[in-house]
Amino acid sequence: MIRHLPNLLSALRLLAAPFAAWLIVHEHDIAAVLTFAAAGASDGLDGYIARRWGVTSAFGAWLDPVADKLLMLFCFTALYGIGATPFWLLLLVVARDLAIVAGWLLIRLLSLPAPTSPLLIGKFSTLAQILYIFMVLLLLSFDVEAPRLVEIAAWACGLFVTLSAAAYAGIFLRGLFFGKRTA
């Protein structure tokens, strides 16, 4: 049973993505923040279980980041839909993720050298997105208006997303033009 637990947790996180967005749009703020927090905890737990008991799989290596990305994209889209996050941040997050997917597909198609692991700045970008969404959901849950705080957090999140996009673009371009594996 333990062998399948990481993938089961990732699959549940994948299902939590549209549910969390639905909760946000329908103003079930406390349920939304709890769902988002549980999904975030499941991300850490599935990775811990997979490493601790050595039950990693190629499917899990694919499913985990897809579940993470969809959770972020659904939540950012829902937050934009209710006017709680700026359009430019949603656009930046979506553009970065689409560029990474397109780059990955081109790497496979052209048989270019590929990064062997996620970049540290990519992990910081994901963390910034998680913290931003969590903060906005908490503010909504407690009916706290803090536009200045949300604006500063949006700019900080946007900075990490931009730095991550630039780093991944650099890796892709070095692989494309010089055939070098850089990560």
Taking the domains of the chain in order of start, what are their residue ranges? Answer: 5-178
Give the Cα separation of 115 and 76 in Å (integer). Answer: 27
Angle at 62 between CA 56 and CA 68, to 5 degrees: 105
- Identify the CATH class of 5-178: mainly alpha
Residue with tokens 């709890």: 34
Average pLDDT of the residues of the chain: 92
Task: Give pTM, 2 decimals.
Answer: 0.91
Rg (C-alpha) for the chain, rounded Å, is 17
Give the Cα separation of 41 and 94 in Å (integer). Answer: 23
**Confidence band, pLDDT 50/70/90 cuts, at residue 180:** low
CA distances from 15 to 56, 103, 178 (A): 21, 26, 40
Q: What is the mean pLDDT of residues 74-93?
A: 98
